[in-house]
A and B are shown apart, each in its own frame.
Chain A
Amino acid sequence: MATQEAKFKVIGTRPIRHDGVDKVTGRARYGADINLPGLLHGKVLRSPHAHARIKSIDVSAAAALPGVKAVITSADFPKLKSGVVPLGELAMNPLYMSMNLLAHDKVLYDGHAVAAVAATSPHIAEEAVKLIKVEYEVLPHVQDVRSAMKEDAPILLPDVRTSGAPEKSDKQTNIASQVRFARGDLDVGFKAADIVVEREFNTAMVHQGYIEPHNAVAQYNADGQATIWTSTQGAFTARDQCGLVLGIPASSIKVVPAEIGGGFGGKIPIYLEPLALLLSKKSGKPVKLVMSRGEVLRATGPTPGSHIRVKMGANKAGKITAAQVWMAYEAGAFPGSPVGAGCMTILAPYDLENLQIDGFDVLVNKPKTAAYRAPGATNAAMGAETVIDELAEKLGIDPLEFRRINGAKEGTAQPAGPKYLRIGYLETVEAAKNSAHYKSPLPKVSGKLVGRGVASGFWFNAGFQSSATVNINTDGTANVVTGSPDIGGSRASCAMIAAEVLGLKAEEVHPVVADTESIGHTDMTGGSRVTFATGYAVYEAAQDAVNQLKQRAATLWKAKPEEVVFQDGVVSRTTNGQESMSLKELAGKLPRAGGPVGGRASVNPRGVGPAFATHVVDVAVDPETGKVDILRYTATQDVGKAVHPSYVEGQMQGAVAQGVGWALNEEYFYDEKGTLRNAGFLDYRVPTCLDLPMIETILIEVPNPGHPIGIRGVGEVPIVPPPAAIANAIYRAVGVRMTELPMSPPKVAKAVLEKK
C-alpha cells in the first residue's frame, strides 16, 4: 500500500499556498473580521476572585443601559447532568462545560465567566458589564498542585472522586484521576544500577499564546436554526459542544470556520460560541464576542503547571536499568489535564525493562487547562531528559550516544505497553550527532558562559475522522473540499496530494475549507492529524475520482473499465489502438460520458505513525543577570513524508520558538489572592524575533508504513525537547542543574550565585 519508493511529482515540492495572497493583502477573513447588518457586540463579566460562592447576580442596571439588547447568566442555560460524554475524539462532561462557560453557584478561578451582555457598540457593552452587581462569598483558594492534593485542601468540586484509583473512596477530593504504568521490577533495576539520579521539578502554567484572541459571531433564527462564525480548530467539534451544552440538536447549528490566527490546542474547547448564540436568540440580532488579551490569558485553557519527580538508574555500560516517575499536573478548575499523555510520553524514546510511572490530575483554582501542542509531554520531558543528561554525564558518556544505547526502535515496548511499529527515533539521534551544529566547536561569547545541550521527545500523533470530496472542473482542474480548518498551510498540502493522484500541478487544484453543512464530519485540526488523516481522505477521494474518470473514458471508448488505465494525468486504453486522453480533454467530454466526476471519501484511519525529535542547542548565559541567549538551535525530526517541506520546517521552527519561551520566560504569575498578575503580552513574555537565531531543521523521512504516502504527523513533537535541551545546555555552561520552568533570569542568576 505504501508508495514511498515512487517518485513524487508534486509531493515534496514547495508551491505557494493557495490562500497566500488573501493572507498577505489583509483580505483573509478571520472570525473578528466578520461583519453583519445590525451586529451587536458582546462582553463577558468575569470573576475577580479565585474561589467564591455566588450569592446573587443583579443584571437590572446593565439591562437598562441604553444600547444594551440582551443579558445572560447561567440561568439561561439548560440544567445538565454530570457524566462523561464521548464527543468524537474528546470525552467531555457537559455539566462541567456548562459551569465553565458561565459559572453556576461558584466561581473557581480569577476570570471565570459569570454573565454576558450584548449591546450596540463594544464600548456600551463594556460599560454595561461594569453595572452588573454580583455578591460573592470569598472562599479559601488553592493554586499549588501538591497543596491541592492534601487532606485539608479547599475542595473545588464536591462531586469529584478520583477516577482510576485502585480503590473507590467517597471522600471529597481535588484529585480527579490517577494513572499508572508499571512493568518489570524497580528494586532489581535500581540494584543493577551503577549510578542513580533523583531530581524534583516544578513547571509553571503557560499559555499557547496564539496572537489572535478567541472570537465568535452567532445568528440565531426564529426557526431554531443558527449560524456561528468562529476561529475554531474544529467546526464540527464546536457545533457538537454547543449542541451538548445548550441542549439543542447539533445539526441545528451551522458552524462556519473562519480563518484562524493560531490554536495549538487552545481553540478546541468553546468559550464564546454558546454565549453569542444565546445573546442572539434573546436579542434577535447577530452578536459578535471577541476576547481581550487579558481574558485570553485569564480565562481560556493554558497548559498545566506540574510537579514531577524522576529517579533513574543506569549501569556503567550506559544502559538505563530502572526508571521511577511521579507527577502531578494542574487540571485547573475542572478535571482533564493531560497527565495521562505526560505519563505515556515520558521516556517513550527509550527501551526500558523496569519502570513505574504515576500521574495525578489535580484540581486547582486556575483556568481549566486545555491542550497545548503535545499536551503533557513537554513538562514530562523536562524531567526525564535532564535526568538522562545527568546520568550520561556522570558515566562519562556523550549524551547522544547514551540515547543511542537506550533508543527505542521497531518492536520496543512503549512505557504504556504497546510495541512500536516502524519508527525513526534512532535516525534522529544519528542526524543530531552528524549535524554541522553538533560537530562544530562551542562558540566563545565575551562575558558569557556557553554550553551545549541535547534532548529528545516523542508524540503519538492522532488519526480520527475526516471527510473529503474531489470534484473535477470542466476545464480539467479539480476542487478539493475538506472540513479541516487550515492553521498552518494544510489546505495547500491537501491540494498537493490530490494533484499528485490526478497528475495535475498544485496550482491546478483549488482547496476549500468548508462549513459543517458542506462537507462530511471532520474532527478537529490538531493532534498532528490533518496531513495524515485529512490527507488520507483526500487521497482516497482523488482515487475515487480517478475510478470514475476511467469509467467515463471506458464509456466514451465503448471499452471495458478494466481496459482503461490512468497515469500522470492521462487516461489510456490498453487495448484496441491504445487511445488516450488528457484529464483536460476528458473533463470537457464528461457530459457525454455519464456526467460530472466527484470523488468522495470518509475515513477514520488506522496506521497512525508516531513522531520523534532530537534537538541540539547552544546557549550563552550571563552569570550576573542570569539571562540566557539562544546562540544556535538545530531540530532533527522523523517527519515521515514531507508533503510541503517549507511548512514542515515551519512547524518545527515555530514549536522550537514556543519551547524557548516556555523554557526561559513564560509563566502564569498569581498573587496571594489568586489573581493573575501578568495577563498581557508585556509581562507574559513570549519570544520576539530578537530573542531567537535562525532555527536549523533536519527533516528525516522514515515513511509511515500505515499511510499510502508515508505521512506522519509533524506539528507537535518539536515542542517537547526545547526546555530540557536548554536546561542541559545551561548546566554545561554554568554547572547548575535547573529544575524549575521557566529558567528566567532571576532564577538562573540565583542558582549561579548559590553555586559559588
Chain B
Amino acid sequence: MANKVLVETTLNGETVEFLCEPRQSLLEVLRDVLGFTGAKEGCLTGDCGACSVIMDGRVACACLVLGPEVQGKKIETVEGMAKDGENLHPLQQKFLEHAALQCGICTPGFLVAAKALLDRNPKPTEHEVRFALAGNLCRCTGYDKIVHAVMDAAAVMQGR
C-alpha cells in the first residue's frame, strides 16, 4: 500500500498542502497532484531545465527534488510570475515582443531561470545571461531572441 506524506509548502506566495508518495518528484507533485502543468518534463535527469522552479530563491530542477523535500520551503513557478490578470511580468512581455519562443515548451523554464537571474543580478551582461541560462535547453530558437528578451526585460525592470 502506497505510503503518502502530508507536505505543507508555499507555492507562488500561497500556503499549500498536499499528499504525495515519497518517490514522487516535485515535478510530479506540481503537474499531477496540484495541477500546475507550467513546469515541463523534458529529461528527468536535470539536464534540460524545462522543469525549472525557484526554491528558496535559487533555481532548481523540480525533477531532481522529491515532493516531501519542499516542506516549509518557498516555491515559485511560472504560474506565479504574472502580476495579475492583465499584467504580465516584464520577462513574459519581452519574450512575446521579441518572439523568443517557437514551440514554447522550454519557455516556462527559461522564464523562471531568467527571473532568478534578474532577481539577484539586475544588470547582467550578455555573457552573464548566457551563463545563467546554460542549464536551459532550447531546440527551436537558437537562443538569440531569448537573450535579447532577457536583456530588454532587465532594462525595463531597471527603468532604463
Do the two chains touch directly in the complex (Cβ atoms below 8 Å apart)?
yes
Determine the chain B residues whose CB is within 8 A of the CB of A651 once the complex forms.
102
Determine the chain A residues whose CB is within 8 A of the CB of B138 once the complex forms.
211, 654, 657, 689
A-contact 0/1 string along B46-82, CB 8 Å cutoff: 0110100000000000000000000000000111011
- B18 contacts the other chain (CB 8 A): no
- B7 contacts the other chain (CB 8 A): no
Known: A682-B45, A689-B147. A487 touches B103 (CB 8 A): yes
**Complex: how many Å from CA A687 to CA B155?**
27
B105 to A30, Cβ gap below 8 A? Answer: yes
Whole-angstrom distance between the Cβ of A374 and the nearest chain B Cβ: 15
Determine the chain A residues whose CB is within 8 A of the CB of B40 once the complex forms.
30, 32, 211-212, 261
Known: A25-B78, A293-B43. A646 touches B145 (CB 8 A): yes
Highest count of chain A CB atoms <10 Å: which of B105, B145, B146: B105
Whole-angstrom distance between the Cβ of A11 and the nearest chain B Cβ: 16
A26 to B37, Cβ gap below 8 A? Answer: yes
Stretch at the interface among A16-24, A147-155, A234-242: A16-24
Determine the chain A residues whose CB is within 8 A of the CB of B130 once the complex forms.
689-690
Whole-angstrom distance between the Cβ of B20 and the nearest chain A Cβ: 11
Highest count of chain A CB atoms <10 Å: which of B31, B41, B148: B41
Q: Which of A35, A213, A692 contacts B42 (CB 8 A)?
A: A213
Highest count of chain A CB atoms <10 Å: which of B45, B103, B130: B103
Whole-angstrom distance between the Cβ of A108 and the nearest chain B Cβ: 26
A-contact 0/1 string along B97-125, CB 8 Å cutoff: 11101111111100100000000000000
The closest CB in chain B to the CB of A66 belongs to B1
Known: A211-B105, A690-B130. A26 touches B143 (CB 8 A): no
Determine the chain A residues whose CB is within 8 A of the CB of B105 once the complex forms.
30, 210-212, 261-262
- A656 contacts the other chain (CB 8 A): yes
Known: A30-B40, A32-B40. A262 touches B92 (CB 8 A): no
Q: Which of A259-289 contact B (CB under 8 A)?
A: 259-264
The closest CB in chain A to the CB of B82 belongs to A25
- B29 contacts the other chain (CB 8 A): no
Whole-angstrom distance between the Cβ of A676 and the nearest chain B Cβ: 15
Determine the chain A residues whose CB is within 8 A of the CB of B32 once the complex forms.
35
Task: Categorize the interface residue count of chain A.
Answer: 35 or more
A210 to B139, Cβ gap below 8 A? Answer: yes
Q: Which of A193-218 contact B (CB under 8 A)?
A: 208-213
A21 to B88, Cβ gap below 8 A? Answer: yes
Known: A25-B82, A690-B134. A488 touches B45 (CB 8 A): no
The closest CB in chain A to the CB of B38 belongs to A26
Whole-angstrom distance between the Cβ of A167 and the nearest chain B Cβ: 44
B36 to A211, Cβ gap below 8 A? Answer: no
**Complex: how many Å from CA A19 to CA B105?**
13
**Complex: how many Å from CA A259 to CA B139?**
16
B99 to A17, Cβ gap below 8 A? Answer: yes
Task: Categorize the interface residue count of chain B.
Answer: 35 or more
Whole-angstrom distance between the Cβ of B2 and the nearest chain A Cβ: 8
- A169 contacts the other chain (CB 8 A): no
Whole-angstrom distance between the Cβ of A217 and the nearest chain B Cβ: 13
Q: Which of B122-144 contact A (CB under 8 A)?
A: 129-131, 133-144
Whole-angstrom distance between the Cβ of B146 and the nearest chain A Cβ: 7
- A33 contacts the other chain (CB 8 A): yes
**Complex: how many Å from CA A292 to CA B25?**
15
- A695 contacts the other chain (CB 8 A): yes
Determine the chain A residues whose CB is within 8 A of the CB of B96 once the complex forms.
16-17, 20-21, 24
Whole-angstrom distance between the Cβ of B94 and the nearest chain A Cβ: 10
Whole-angstrom distance between the Cβ of B133 and the nearest chain A Cβ: 5
- A489 contacts the other chain (CB 8 A): yes
B-contact 0/1 string along A638-666, CB 8 Å cutoff: 00000010110111011111100000000
The closest CB in chain B to the CB of A123 belongs to B23
Q: Which of B47, B82, B139, B143 contacts A682 (CB 8 A)?
A: B47
A653 to B78, Cβ gap below 8 A? Answer: no
- A680 contacts the other chain (CB 8 A): yes
**Complex: how many Å from CA A647 to CA B31?**
30
The closest CB in chain B to the CB of A486 belongs to B103
A681 to B107, Cβ gap below 8 A? Answer: no
A212 to B103, Cβ gap below 8 A? Answer: yes
**Complex: how many Å from CA A675 to CA B23?**
28
**Complex: how many Å from CA A213 to CA B50?**
11
**Complex: how many Å from CA A714 to CA B104?**
19
- B39 contacts the other chain (CB 8 A): yes
- A325 contacts the other chain (CB 8 A): no
Interface of B is mostly: loop
A24 to B103, Cβ gap below 8 A? Answer: no
- B14 contacts the other chain (CB 8 A): no
The closest CB in chain B to the CB of A212 belongs to B105
B102 to A489, Cβ gap below 8 A? Answer: yes
**Complex: how many Å from CA A694 to CA B144?**
5
B131 to A690, Cβ gap below 8 A? Answer: yes
**Complex: how many Å from CA A20 to CA B98?**
11
Q: Which of A433-453 contact B (CB under 8 A)?
A: none
Determine the chain A residues whose CB is within 8 A of the CB of B129 once the complex forms.
689
Whole-angstrom distance between the Cβ of A739 and the nearest chain B Cβ: 26
B38 to A653, Cβ gap below 8 A? Answer: no
Determine the chain A residues whose CB is within 8 A of the CB of B97 once the complex forms.
16
B137 to A688, Cβ gap below 8 A? Answer: yes
B137 to A681, Cβ gap below 8 A? Answer: yes
**Complex: how many Å from CA A263 to CA B104?**
12
- B21 contacts the other chain (CB 8 A): yes
Determine the chain B residues whose CB is within 8 A of the CB of A29 once the complex forms.
37
**Complex: how many Å from CA A290 to CA B31?**
14
The closest CB in chain A to the CB of B48 belongs to A681
The closest CB in chain B to the CB of A696 belongs to B144
Determine the chain B residues whose CB is within 8 A of the CB of A16 once the complex forms.
96-97
Known: A21-B96, A26-B79, A262-B103. A657 touches B108 (CB 8 A): no
**Complex: how many Å from CA A647 to CA B48?**
23
Known: A21-B96, A25-B78, A25-B92. A123 touches B41 (CB 8 A): no
B41 to A654, Cβ gap below 8 A? Answer: no
Determine the chain B residues whose CB is within 8 A of the CB of A104 once the complex forms.
none
Q: Which of A33, A35, A653 contacts B145 (CB 8 A)?
A: A653
**Complex: how many Å from CA A19 to CA B144?**
21
- A584 contacts the other chain (CB 8 A): no
The closest CB in chain B to the CB of A296 belongs to B43
Determine the chain A residues whose CB is within 8 A of the CB of B144 once the complex forms.
649, 653, 692, 694-695
Q: Which of A292, A487, A681 contacts B102 (CB 8 A)?
A: A487
- A14 contacts the other chain (CB 8 A): yes
A695 to B104, Cβ gap below 8 A? Answer: no
Q: Which of A1-46 contact B (CB under 8 A)?
A: 14, 16-17, 19-21, 23-30, 32-33, 35
B133 to A293, Cβ gap below 8 A? Answer: no
A211 to B134, Cβ gap below 8 A? Answer: no
- A468 contacts the other chain (CB 8 A): no
A24 to B21, Cβ gap below 8 A? Answer: no
Sampled A-B contacts (19; CB under 8 Å): A20-B96, A23-B101, A24-B88, A33-B37, A293-B42, A293-B44, A489-B99, A647-B99, A649-B99, A649-B145, A650-B142, A650-B145, A655-B142, A681-B43, A681-B45, A688-B136, A689-B129, A690-B130, A690-B133
Other A-B pairs, 6, CB within 8 Å; known A292-B44, A688-B133, A689-B147: A487-B102, A488-B140, A649-B145, A653-B141, A654-B138, A688-B135
Can you list the 8 inter-chain pairs with the closest CB atoms, starting with the nearest? A26-B38, A261-B105, A653-B142, A646-B99, A657-B142, A23-B104, A689-B143, A681-B47
